Amino acid sequence: MRAADGHAAGAEARGEGRAPLDLKQLRAIVTVAEVGSVTRAAELLHLVQPAVTRQIRTLEQELGVDLFERTGQGMRPTEAGAVMVDRARRALNELERARAEVQRAPGEVRGIVTLGLLESTADLLADLLVAALARDHPGVELRLMTAYSGHLQQWLDDGDLDLTLLYNLDSTPSLNARPLVRERLWAVAPASAGLRADRPVAFAEAAGHPLVMPAAGHALRRLIDAAAARSGATMEIAVQTNSLRVQKRLVRAGHGWTVLPGVGIAEDVARGALSAAPLAEPEVWRRVVLGTQRAGRTPPAVEVVGRELVRQIDSAVEEGRWPSAEVQGA
Tens-digit pLDDT profile for residues 132-175: 999 999 989 899 999 888 889 888 988 889 999 998 888 888 88
| 308, burial (CB in 10 Å: exposed 0-12, middle 13-18, buried 19+) | buried
% the chain with pLDDT above 90: 52
Give the integer Cα–Cα distance in Å for 213 and 119.
15
Instruction: Read off the pLDDT of residues 207-231 as tens digits, 9 standing for 90 and up.
Output: 999 999 988 878 889 999 999 999 9
Cβ atoms of 115 and 309 closer than 8 Å: yes
| Tens-digit pLDDT profile for residues 60-119 | 888 889 999 888 888 899 999 898 888 888 888 778 777 766 766 666 778 889 999 999
| Residues in Cβ contact with 327 at an 8 Å cutoff, skipping those fewer than 6 apart | 180, 181, 313, 314, 317, 318
Provide the pLDDT for residue 174: 81
The yes-or-no verdict on residue 8 having pLDDT over 60 is: no
Q: Output the pLDDT for position 2.
A: 40
Q: Which of 67, 61, 55, 62 is nearest to 27 (CA)?
A: 55
Q: What is the pLDDT of residue 275?
A: 96
Q: What is the distance between the alpha carbons of residues 127 and 141, in angstroms, rounded to a whole number?
A: 14
Residue 25: in which H helix or E strand, if any? helix 23-35
pLDDT at 104: 62
**233, 207 contact by CB (below 8 A):** yes
Q: Is the pLDDT of residue 240 over 70?
A: yes
Q: Other C-beta atoms within 10 Å of 72: how many? A: 5
Of 7-11, 33-37, 68-72, 182-186, the range with the lowest mean pLDDT is 7-11
pLDDT computed for residue 216 by the predictor: 81
Of the two residues 132 and 21, the one the predictor is more confident about is 132
pLDDT band at 9 (very low <50, low <70, confident <90, very high): very low
The set of residues, in sequence order, having a beta carbon less than 8 Å from that of 230 and lying 6+ positions away, is 203, 282
Phi, psi of 25 (to 5 degrees): -65, -45
Q: Among 65, 1, 66, 53, which Cα is nearest to 24's?
A: 53
- pLDDT band per the 50, 70, 90 thresholds, residue 296: confident
CA distance 117 to 126: 8
- DSSP track, 203-253: HHHHHTSEEEEEPTT-HHHHHHHHHHHHHTPPPEEEEEES-HHHHHHHHHT
Indicate if the alpha-carbon torsion angle 39, 45, 49, 52 is positive or negative.
negative
Q: What is the overall mean pLDDT for the chain?
A: 87
Name the pTM for this structure: 0.70
State whether the Cα torsion 263-269-275-281 is positive or negative: positive
With CA atoms as reference, report the closest residue to 191 among 259, 277, 320: 277
Between residues 285 and 8, which one has the greater pLDDT?
Answer: 285
What percent of the chain is predicted at pLDDT more than 70?
91
